[in-house]
């Protein structure tokens, strides 16, 4: 949290489910005024989390909403650009329209959010920008052409933004989760089970066994890492890729 006497402000994109929801709840509990930019309403309400219906693929809409937040609250302390979609497909199976949609949400959504918060952060000479990348920003996985491409782009965005805005005391980092037990994870597994006819318990056990620590990650664990990166304890950390994957990419 900032040392300012005013309540710090955190903007989270895609904060209604899974990792995003955990981030919103944790930052709110830690004293932030949180704004959740998401098309879907959150399942769990919190008095310090304001939901703003927003299509993150719409650059103008994202920037307009963030500008209104900045005008009302003067200072934006933190951005967690978390909104994103997953696609299981190789390059031949990925149509141009689908690729454009993936980039619009995963990459241009982050681009718009960063552009939106920078005027306030530059003015106040402080701010933490956190991009939700993936372990796939470091490694490749099968049938993950477009997703891998977009998450690698976010890692690059964190590094270049860190260098360009270090002179303004603005930090930018990318969080790179591995397999985290979220609604999206369960949706992907359910889809696989429907196609394969396999036993649910066996498939979940296999996923856990792929991780050196022998289990899946939890949204709250990713949220804690984001909160650390936003805090005064991480003031010398910028331009980094923070892996939280149970050791998967160390193999």
**Catalytic residue of the set 111, 147, 165, 185:** 147
DSSP string spanning the chain? Answer: --S-SSPPEEEEES-SSHHHHHHHHHHHHTT-EEEEEESSPPSS--TTEEEEE--TT-HHHHHHHHHHHHHHHS---EEEE-------B-STT--HHHHHHHIIIIIHHHHHHHHHHHHHHHHHT-EEEEEE--GGGTS--TTBHHHHHHHHHHHHHHHHHHHHHGGGTEEEEEEEE-SB-SHHHHHHHHHHHHHH---HHHHHHHHHHTSTTSS-B-HHHHHHHHHHHHSGGGTT--S-EEEESTTGGG-
Whether 165 is a known active-site residue: answer no
Give catalytic residues, as residue numbers.
147
């Amino acid at each position: 949290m900032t040392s300012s006497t005013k309540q710090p402000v955190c903007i989270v994109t895609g904060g209604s489910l899974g990792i995003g929801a955990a981030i919103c709840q944790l930052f709110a509990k830690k004293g932030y005024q949180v704004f959740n930019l998401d098309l879907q309403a959150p399942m769990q309400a919190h008095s310090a989390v304001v939901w703003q219906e927003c299509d993150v693929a719409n650059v103008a809409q994202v920037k307009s909403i963030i500008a209104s937040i900045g005008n009302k609250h003067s200072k934006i302390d933190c951005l967690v650009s978390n909104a994103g979609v997953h696609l299981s497909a190789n390059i031949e199976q990925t149509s141009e329209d689908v690729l454009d949609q993936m980039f619009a949400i995963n990459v241009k959504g982050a681009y718009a959010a960063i552009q939106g918060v920078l005027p306030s952060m530059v003015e106040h000479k402080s701010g933490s920008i956190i991009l939700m990348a993936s372990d796939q920003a470091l490694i490749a996985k099968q049938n993950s052409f477009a997703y891998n491409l977009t998450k690698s782009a976010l890692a690059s965005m964190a590094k270049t933004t860190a260098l360009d805005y270090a002179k303004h005391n603005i930090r930018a980092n990318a969080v790179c989760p591995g397999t985290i037990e979220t609604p999206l994870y369960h949706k992907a597994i359910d889809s696989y089970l429907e196609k394969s006819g396999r036993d649910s318990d066996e498939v979940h056990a296999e996923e856990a066994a792929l991780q050196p620590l022998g289990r899946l990650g939890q949204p709250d664990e990713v949220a804690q890492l984001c909160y650390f990166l936003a805090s005064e304890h991480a003031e010398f950390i910028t331009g980094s890729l923070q892996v939280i994957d149970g050791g998967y990419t160390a193999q």
